[in-house]
Amino acid sequence: HSFCADILRERPLEAGIDPAFTVATEDDAAALLERAFDSWFQTVLEDPPEGVRRYLRRRPWKPDEGPRQRLLTACRDLADHRDYDRPWRRDAFDRESAIDALVEEARALGSLGGLALNQYDPLARCLAGLEAFSHRVANRDAAAGTRDYDWLEAELLALDRALDWNRKGRGKSFADGILRADVVARRDALRRSLDRFRRAADADLAACLFRELQPVVQAYENLKASVGALDFLDLLLRTRDLVRDHPAVRRDLQERFGHIYVDEFQDTDPLQAEIVMLLAADDPAQADARECRPVPGKLFVVGDPKQSIYRFRRADVAMYARIKAQLVATGAEVLYLRTSFRSVPAIQGAVNTSFERVMQGSDDGSQADYVALAPHREADDSQPSVVALPVPAPYGWNGRVTKAAVVESTPDAVAAFVHWLVNDSGWTVEDPDSGERVPVASGHICLLFRRFVQLREDVTRPYV
């Protein structure tokens, strides 16, 4: 971003921006967008358009997420992708007919719940939920004298989270003539119908919201212009436009930068990738980044798709794969860095064994292939390098190791292992300064967490 800011300050007139522009922080940009949103929100509440009306009727994923916050989040997502400025396609979608068909399918299946011999059977409980849904629909239709399709859309989409669609139950739990397998097949068919409806309804709603939320994005642009500010996306977007649309500027920058080095390319924004390809191109007249051929030896890219943070600041691992293929097609050489200089061979072996089975890549490039690590350090057979901590007593139930038992036992198990490691194990580590083996101390230990968790609850609780 700072690289783009420097280029824009050199060429503000060609870029069409205030020469004295400031770069808005993330907090400042968020505050400006919220101002634009609040002004629009107060107006639109008087008579919500179709997309807003449908969106507000849907149940939130988070209990504390109110209607204002949900719409504001949608505006932020739209503002973060405003460089995709073409109108979104809205395919034909007969929403009311689709809803009517689903309501009838749910009613017919739910009516079988009354034939269940065991009301506690998982499959019977799913049918009971469908029957309760059908009763709510019938009562609401009768009270209103008409069908509320916005409410029904939201209720149908909520069914997927409200019911257990997976468990089949067992035994003879239905009246004669009703086979469990047939009921399961109808339930699974209904779920597939709901999933198809969700995809169609989401696509239709997204096209509506894209159109209806544009005034917020435009008001946000106006507020930034009024204070002479650019946000982080502006820096990339304005620089891309400057380099792409001004041949003289593009030629000047191509001649100035003889070598371009890009690190962590797997987390690169598509606009950043476009800028890089334009600056590295061997033909100054080429303004399409997809057709650019880099000058031999000018571009050096380092990236590891396995480390890609999903959608990190608009990064896309599929874009990484596409750029890689483009570079290879134009003569670039691919070097695989396989050697790990940090881990000992036993750790590398455990990592390779674990990830080779699950990281198989994908045809569309959206998932990375696993490249096995090769050892550099010598193996130390005097002590293990990988230890799996067992679930200690009194956790678990009848010797069964469940996910809940693992989570509950983690604080005690980790604390006990660390205490043993430091005080009683006799294990050693390599001192980074002297290279000599020294006893394990608490300062050598680091705890890594997959996600934020509470691990303090059980550490000090006494057990008898």
Q: Answer whether residue 436 is part of any domain.
A: yes
Asked whether residue 362 is assigned to any structural domain, the reply reads: no
Q: How many CB atoms lie within 10 A of CB 303?
A: 18
Q: Of 227, 261, 277, at which residue does a domain stop?
A: 227
Q: Are 213 and 249 in the same domain?
A: no
By CB atoms closer than 10 A (0-12, 13-18, 19+), residue 36 is buried
Q: What's the domain count of the chain?
A: 3
Q: Are residues 297 and 417 in the same domain?
A: no
Question: Which residues contact residue 399 at a Cβ distance below 8 angstroms, ignoring those fewer than 6 apart?
Answer: none
Question: Which structure tokens are listed for 175?
Answer: 């009246």
Cα angle at 184 between 183 and 189, to 5 degrees?
Answer: 100
**Is residue 26 in some structural domain?**
no
What is the pLDDT tens value at each position of the chain, 464 positions in all? 899 999 999 999 999 999 999 999 999 999 999 999 999 999 998 899 999 999 988 877 666 677 888 899 999 999 998 988 777 788 899 999 999 999 999 999 999 988 877 888 888 899 999 999 999 999 999 999 999 999 999 999 999 888 989 888 877 667 777 888 889 999 999 999 999 999 999 999 999 999 999 999 999 999 999 999 999 999 999 999 999 999 999 999 999 999 999 998 888 888 999 999 999 999 999 999 999 999 999 999 998 887 776 555 677 778 888 899 999 999 999 998 889 888 889 999 999 998 888 888 777 666 777 888 898 988 888 899 999 888 777 776 666 777 777 888 888 889 999 999 999 999 999 888 888 999 999 999 999 887 765 555 544 555 44
Q: Are strands 437-439 and 428-430 parallel, antiparallel or unpaired?
A: antiparallel
Of 209, 227, 245, the residue at which a domain comes to its end is 227
- For residue 116, what are its two tokens? 């269940």
Q: What is the pTM of this model?
A: 0.75
Domain boundary among 168, 193, 227: 227
Is 365 within 8 Å of 351 (Cβ atoms)? no
One domain for residues 55 and 144: yes
Give the CATH number, domain containing residue 248: 3.40.50.300
Asked if residue 208 lies in contact with residue 49, where contact means CB atoms within 8 angstroms, the answer is yes
Are 45 and 132 found together in one domain? yes
Q: Are residues 148 and 271 in the same domain?
A: no
Residues 284 and 423 both lie in one domain: no
Pair 183, 41 in one domain = yes
Are 205 and 71 in the same domain?
yes
Residue-range definition of the domain harbouring residue 422: 387-464
Q: Are residues 179 and 273 in the same domain?
A: no
Length of the chain: 464
Q: Is residue 353 part of a domain?
A: no
**Would you say residue 319 lies in a domain?**
yes
**Are residues 395 and 256 part of one domain?**
no
Is 372 inside any structural domain?
Answer: no
Q: 205 and 304: one domain? A: no
Looking at the structure, tell me whether residues 422 and 283 fall in a common domain: no
In this structure, is residue 97 part of a structural domain? yes
If you search the block for the tokens 């394990």, which residue do you land on?
440
Angle at Cα 341 formed by Cα 338 and Cα 345, nearest 5°? 80
Decide if 373 is inside a domain.
Answer: no
